[in-house]
């Protein structure tokens, strides 16, 4: 049996993208500087860390794996969607339904897809 240690993102600018994801998640950037080829976000509570690694090629196609994120601090899905759009995420697909179910797919500054789903409280 294996556990997930890190989730790794290829990136053109690891420091900048890592700082953006730090703002998104609230997770701290471990001691790195602009221009570094690897940047780690340290996850709390034993969750997998997020690692951003510099690669020469740009993103060309849809991600084969993406993160589904949910509000963890009492906010709703829609409140978090608005906050993340304010951080500079781009809307990619709105799959929210009139009955309150569904999710929103967004893009980070380098075009990586991620989704925001309903909080645990909204699922009850």
Give the domain extent around 14. Answer: 1-57
Mean pLDDT of the chain: 93
Give pLDDT, residue 61. 84
- Angle at the Cα of 63 (from 102 to 115), degrees rounded to 5? 25
Q: Which residues of 86-102 are buried (b: 16+ CB within 10 A; e: fewer)?
A: eeebeeeeeebeeeeee
Based on the domain organization, do 74 and 16 belong to the same domain?
Answer: no
Q: Number of structural domains, the chain?
A: 2
pLDDT in tens, 71-121: 988 999 999 999 999 999 999 999 999 999 999 999 999 999 999 999 999
Which of 57, 76, 100 delimits the end of a domain? 57
Based on the domain organization, do 52 and 63 belong to the same domain?
Answer: no
CATH of residue 87: 3.10.180.10
Based on the domain organization, do 52 and 66 belong to the same domain?
Answer: no
Based on the domain organization, do 114 and 91 belong to the same domain?
Answer: yes
Cβ contact 41:25 at 8 Å: yes
pLDDT in tens, 20-39: 999 999 999 987 888 899 99
Based on the domain organization, do 48 and 105 belong to the same domain?
Answer: no
Give pLDDT, residue 111. 95
Give pLDDT, residue 32. 82
| Cα–Cα distance, 63 to 95 (Å, whole number) | 18
Based on the domain organization, do 105 and 122 belong to the same domain?
Answer: yes
């Amino acid at each position: 049996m294996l556990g997930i240690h890190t989730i790794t993102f290829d990136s053109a600018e690891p420091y900048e993208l890592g700082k953006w994801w730090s703002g998104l998640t609230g997770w701290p950037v471990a001691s790195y500087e602009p221009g570094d080829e690897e940047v780690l976000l340290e996850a709390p509570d034993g969750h997998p860390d997020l690692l951003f690694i510099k690669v020469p090629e740009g993103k060309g196609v849809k991600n084969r794996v993406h993160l589904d994120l949910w509000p963890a601090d009492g906010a709703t899905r829609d409140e978090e969607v608005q906050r993340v759009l304010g951080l500079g995420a781009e809307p990619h697909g709105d799959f929210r339904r009139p009955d309150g179910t569904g999710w929103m797919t967004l893009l980070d500054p380098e075009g990586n897809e991620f989704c925001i789903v309903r909080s645990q409280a909204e699922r009850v």
